[in-house]
Amino acid sequence: MPLMDLNDMLKHAYRHRYAVGSFGIDDTLFMAGVLQAAEETRAPVVLNLIATHFAEDELESFIPLVMQAAHTATVPVAINVDHLSDGALAQRVMSMGCNGIMIDHSSLRFSENVGRTAECVKLAHQCGVTVEGELGHVPGEPVDGEGGDEQILTSAGEVKAYVERTGIDCLAVSVGNVHGHAKGSKMDLARLVRIHQAVDIPLVLHGGTGLTLEQYRKAIDNGVAKINYYTGLADAISKRIKANLAADHRAVYRDLMHGVTENVRAEAVRCIKSWRSDGRAAEVSAQCRAVGEVEYVATLAVGNTASGKPGIEPVLQEAQRSLASIPGVARVSIGASRTHAGRYCVIVTLVNETAARHFLESQRHRQVTSKLALSYATDWSDGLYVEMD
């Protein structure tokens, strides 16, 4: 099925007092276990790619596999890229189809965090992408190229201004939670209550592994609609690998990895049930928007090239490069007709309808189409074609 609009999904969870599991996945074994758990429990789920766990080329190679797996699911799925601080990388993953990003400038001063986050939100919303910001800092993840070990609790007095000035869709909070192994985390529930009272948007809890069932429930009852969870899944995998090695110290890779997906599935099922998201798939599918790619198609017929003008081929190549650089453009194809000399087709695939609207309004698109239609074409037609899988 198509991806589900992440903002819609989180708002549904927020209204109905449950939390969507945003499960960190490092490879296809993690991913398979999470999706199996979501299918078994009929729960909406977020496949969460933690940017700091990948080199850029690894992340961009993995995303198409995640997209393909998400589209084969029968439950609502969104794809989020976590802990981004590079605006250029954020634009690339959005143009690859990821429909949620977490922009992390939490280690910066308030004004700098606001400014950089707001800039990213503006771009992301043009692409129809949900944005999560962070105020305060949850330790354990490096951000902005620096270590992230210092706990900075979210200021309840600053959250309203932060949300209004950045335009974020959901807010990651620091209320005693930490990334990694942190059994017995002391959640500052009173602080969470004040934050929830100050802003009426879904809250996000990072570092979900170390919390108790009671802490989860209290967090959800006070605005938390997404819980990020990675370390518990990684521990489940490590446990199975160690057991496989103990059973056969000569085991090769395939033998060592046997059963790890099942361990991930079991742990994810436990979390989903703890966070009350089990059984929610049907209502989320019915009440939230699905998002899919949209195609812009233009055809042009070119007569004899006017005197003093270059041939059409280099102009089309430049048009392809220019259109591909517009935010929300997934790919651009331009080709010549095999049967009709001088006739060409331009196909621009955009990540969703929101991106398509901004594409049509963008100055770069207007410049390219004006140059082609007015200067070269003897015949021109264009239009948008929505394609939902």
DSSP string, 368-379: HHHHHHHHTEEE
Q: Sort 84 into a burial class: Cβ within 10 Å, 0-12 / 13-18 / 19+.
A: buried
Q: How confident is the model over 119-147, as pLDDT tens digits?
A: 999 999 999 999 999 999 888 754 444 44
Confidence (pLDDT) at 359: 95
pTM for the predicted model, two decimal places: 0.92
Backbone angles phi, psi at 281, to 5 degrees: -60, -45
Confidence (pLDDT) at 2: 87
Q: Edge-to-edge strand order for the sheet containing 377-386? A: 329-336, 343-350, 294-302, 377-386
Is residue 82 among the annotated active site residues? yes
Decide if 350 contacts 296 (C-beta within 8 A): yes
CA max distance for the chain: 79
Question: What mean pLDDT comes out for the span 238-256?
Answer: 94
Distance CA 279, CA 44 (A): 9
Confidence (pLDDT) at 314: 86
Question: What mean pLDDT comes out for the span 273-290?
Answer: 97
3-287 is classed CATH 3.40.50.2300? no
For the residues of 318-341, what is the DSSP string, one character each?
A: HHHHHHHTSTTEEEEEEEE-SSST
Confidence (pLDDT) at 371: 83
Backbone angles phi, psi at 176, to 5 degrees: 105, -10
Confidence (pLDDT) at 274: 97
For the cut 60, the answer to whether the pLDDT of residue 276 exceeds it is yes
pLDDT band at residue 262 using 50, 70 and 90 as cut-offs:
very high
Question: What mean pLDDT comes out for the span 148-175?
Answer: 91
What are the domain boundaries of the chain? Answer: 3-287, 292-386
Question: What mean pLDDT comes out for the span 316-334?
Answer: 94
State which CATH number among 3.30.70.100, 3.40.50.11540, 3.50.50.60, 2.20.130.10 fits the domain covering 292-386.
3.30.70.100
For the cut 90, the answer to whether the pLDDT of residue 158 exceeds it is yes
List the single range of 96-110, 181-195, 341-355 with lowest mean pLDDT: 181-195
Confidence (pLDDT) at 294: 95
Confidence (pLDDT) at 181: 67
Confidence (pLDDT) at 183: 53
Confidence (pLDDT) at 308: 45
Q: Name the active-site residue from 5, 8, 82, 169.
A: 82
List the single range of 66-70, 195-199, 207-211 with lowest mean pLDDT: 207-211
Confidence (pLDDT) at 300: 86
Helices (H), 212-291: 213-221, 231-247, 253-256, 260-274, 281-287
For the cut 70, the answer to whether the pLDDT of residue 304 exceeds it is no
Decide if 29 contacts 257 (C-beta within 8 A): yes
pLDDT band at residue 185 using 50, 70 and 90 as cut-offs:
low
For the cut 80, the answer to whether the pLDDT of residue 306 exceeds it is no
DSSP 233: H
| Closest to 314 in 3D by CA, of 334, 328, 292 | 334
